[in-house]
């Protein structure tokens, strides 16, 4: 489901004074919204065609540092411009910001106006186009988890992120009374997103104190990624307005469970038939679905970086926490890396449980689709489902560190063929830089452990 505001309706709303600001947003490597606030009149007069941004926006880390070592841009190359091309199909009202609309942009090369290949939206669009050429469309959904805290973002930062208290005092998984206490924030998030054209299904408490989950209805892959990026931004803005802080870190505390972003996926035909469903086959899984799922499993180690992009991401992979540690598939089993859902029905689909809440949805979905396509093209055979506790299973491990995942990404012939060498090398550099920065920093744990005793 794209935006909920046509360009003609925007022009009318601007003329009436109802809308005075248009956010033009591109998605960066981390999945964040970056862009400009236009006076709405200028946007409808001129900027709806294009605007510009510095090309460093696709070559920075979480701190917005100008990272050395990228082929696409550098101090030597002068950090030139990219074109931000508004996708008017994504125009939408933003109810929680007064008088404001938003549009998502594609990032184009300033000289020849081709899409920048390592831009997240372009990466996903390329894999969607590959599927369309095969006669299929990807339908996907993400389940996004986060932790909500008592204090505001500003207060948490001034406290050095120490002594942080979640908004609730106990596990609130499906807990109605506890989540009632949090409705000031969560109701505003649900209603705000719905008003922005995002098809919200529900929110719920998750399996830890202060942990929330927001679920959006499945949609075409690109719409799902757009919605996911908007949801994360909306949750932060609305929580900030309510005086609360929240985090999408995969693991904010070693004694707490992590936060995930499970990705559900299935393929459909142009006439809206479920290509993954065959009632005559075990579990209702068509031969196509078996090939696709076999591709996901065969290439899971290679795609892990796009599901877990930071050092912190790998601290979520702990046994007994509902975060998977092994590469296998199972039938409705939450201990496996991939779970079959909707068994025996038209809604049959595969859920990837590897990703954390810190993933970039465009990158994650692009990598998963590429792996699935590889399985289809090679006719890969799917092993029987794993039964039992996958934490104890004799099956391959998910890469345990960012370094291991970066190595598998760098050596992936499948991803190099699907995404391009330039794209893979770009994100390998992002992973290596994250590791370099982590290795440089002295942590609180090291000081507390060794200050006196070393």
Model confidence pLDDT, tens digit, residues 122-163: 999 999 999 999 999 999 999 999 999 999 999 999 999 999
Which stretches within 268-309 are classed as H helix? Answer: 287-298, 300-307
Can you tell me the distance from the alpha carbon of 326 to that of 315, in angstroms, rounded to the nearest whole number?
14
pLDDT per residue as tens digits for the range 310-359: 999 999 999 888 899 999 999 988 889 999 999 999 999 999 999 999 99
State which H helix or E strand residue 34 sits in: strand 33-39
Query: Buried b vs exposed e over 148-177: b needs ≥16 C-beta within 10 Å?
Result: bbebbbeebeeeeeeebebbbeebbeeeee
Tens-digit pLDDT profile for residues 183-213: 999 999 999 999 999 999 999 999 889 999 9
pLDDT tens per residue, range 346-394: 999 999 999 999 999 999 999 999 999 999 999 999 999 999 888 987 8
What's the pTM?
A: 0.96
CB 324 within 8 Å of CB 336? yes
160-165: list long-range contacts, CB under 8 Å, 24+ apart: 164/252, 164/253, 165/210
Whether residue 231 has pLDDT greater than 90: yes
In whole numbers, what is the pLDDT of the chain averaged over residues?
95
Percent above pLDDT 70 for the chain: 100
Q: How far is CA 6 from CA 113, 134, 217, 394, in A?
A: 24, 31, 22, 53
Cα distances from 445 to residues 50, 152, 313, 448, in angstroms, run 48, 25, 17, 5
Return d(Cα 425, Cα 410) in angstroms, integer.
7
Which residues does 58 contact at the CB level (< 8 Å), separation at least 6? 28, 29, 72, 73, 82, 107, 116, 118, 119
Ranges of beta strands (E only) in 115-233 are 137-149, 200-205, 211-216, 219-220
| pLDDT per position as a tens digit, 239-251 | 999 999 999 999 9
Write down the pLDDT at residue 11.
97
Q: Could you give the domains of the chain?
A: 7-116 (3.10.20.70), 127-445 (3.30.590.10)
The confidence score (pLDDT) of residue 2 equals 77
Q: What angle do CA 352, 356, 360 make, to 5 degrees?
A: 90
How are the residues of the chain apportioned to helix, strand and coil, as percentages rounded to the nearest 5?
A: 40, 20, 40
Q: How far apart are CA 332 and CA 101, in angstroms?
A: 40
- Given a cut of 70, is residue 1 above it in pLDDT? no
DSSP secondary structure string for all residues of 184-202: HHHHHHHHHHHHTT--EEE
Contacts by 36-44, CB closer than 8 A, 24 or more apart: 40/10, 40/13, 40/14, 40/99, 40/101, 41/14, 43/14, 44/7, 44/10, 44/11, 44/14
Structure tokens at 320: 């007994």
């Amino acid at each position: 489901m794209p935006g909920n505001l046509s360009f003609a309706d925007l022009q009318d709303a601007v003329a009436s004074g109802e809308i005075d600001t248009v956010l033009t947003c591109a998605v960066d490597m981390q999945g964040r919204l970056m862009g400009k606030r236009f006076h709405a009149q200028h946007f409808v007069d001129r900027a709806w065609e294009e605007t510009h941004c510095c090309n460093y926006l696709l070559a920075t880390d979480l701190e917005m540092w100008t990272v050395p070592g990228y082929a696409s841009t550098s101090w030597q190359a002068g950090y030139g411009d990219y074109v931000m091309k508004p996708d008017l199909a994504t125009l939408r009202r933003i109810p929680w910001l007064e008088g404001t609309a938003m549009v998502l942009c594609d990032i184009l090369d300033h000289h020849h106006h081709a899409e920048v290949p390592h831009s997240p939206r372009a990466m996903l669009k390329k894999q969607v186009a590959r599927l369309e050429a095969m006669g299929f469309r990807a339908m996907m959904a993400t389940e996004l988890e986060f932790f909500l805290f008592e204090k505001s973002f500003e207060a948490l930062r001034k406290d050095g992120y120490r002594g942080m208290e979640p908004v609730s005092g106990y596990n609130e998984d499906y807990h109605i009374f506890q989540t009632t206490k949090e409705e000031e924030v969560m109701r505003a998030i649900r209603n705000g997103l719905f008003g922005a054209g995002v098809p919200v299904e529900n929110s719920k408490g998750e399996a830890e104190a202060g942990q929330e989950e927001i679920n959006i209805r499945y949609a075409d892959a690109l719409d799902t990624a757009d919605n996911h990026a908007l949801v994360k931004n909306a949750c932060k803005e609305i929580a900030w307005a309510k005086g609360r802080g929240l985090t999408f870190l995969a693991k904010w505390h070693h004694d707490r469970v992590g936060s995930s972003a499970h990705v559900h996926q299935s393929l459909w035909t142009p006439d809206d038939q479920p290509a993954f469903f065959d009632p005559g086959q075990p579990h209702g899984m068509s031969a196509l679905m078996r090939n696709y799922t076999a591709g996901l499993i065969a290439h899971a180690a290679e795609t892990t970086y796009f599901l877990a992009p930071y050092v912190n991401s790998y601290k979520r992979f702990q046994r007994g926490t509902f975060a998977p540690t092994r590469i296998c598939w199972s039938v409705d089993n939450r201990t496996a890396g991939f779970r079959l859902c909707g068994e025996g029905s038209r809604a049959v689909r595969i859920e990837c449980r590897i990703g954390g809440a810190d993933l970039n949805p465009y990158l994650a979905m692009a990598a998963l689709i590429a792996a699935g396509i590889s399985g289809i093209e090679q006719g890969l055979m799917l092993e029987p489902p794993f039964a039992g506790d996958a934490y104890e299973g004799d099956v391959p491990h998910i890469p345990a560190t960012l370094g291991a995942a970066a190595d598998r990404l760098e050596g992936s012939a499948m991803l190099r063929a699907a995404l391009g060498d330039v794209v893979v090398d770009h994100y390998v550099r992002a992973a290596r830089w994250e590791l370099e920065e982590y290795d440089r920093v002295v942590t609180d744990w090291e000081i507390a452990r060794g200050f006196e005793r070393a």
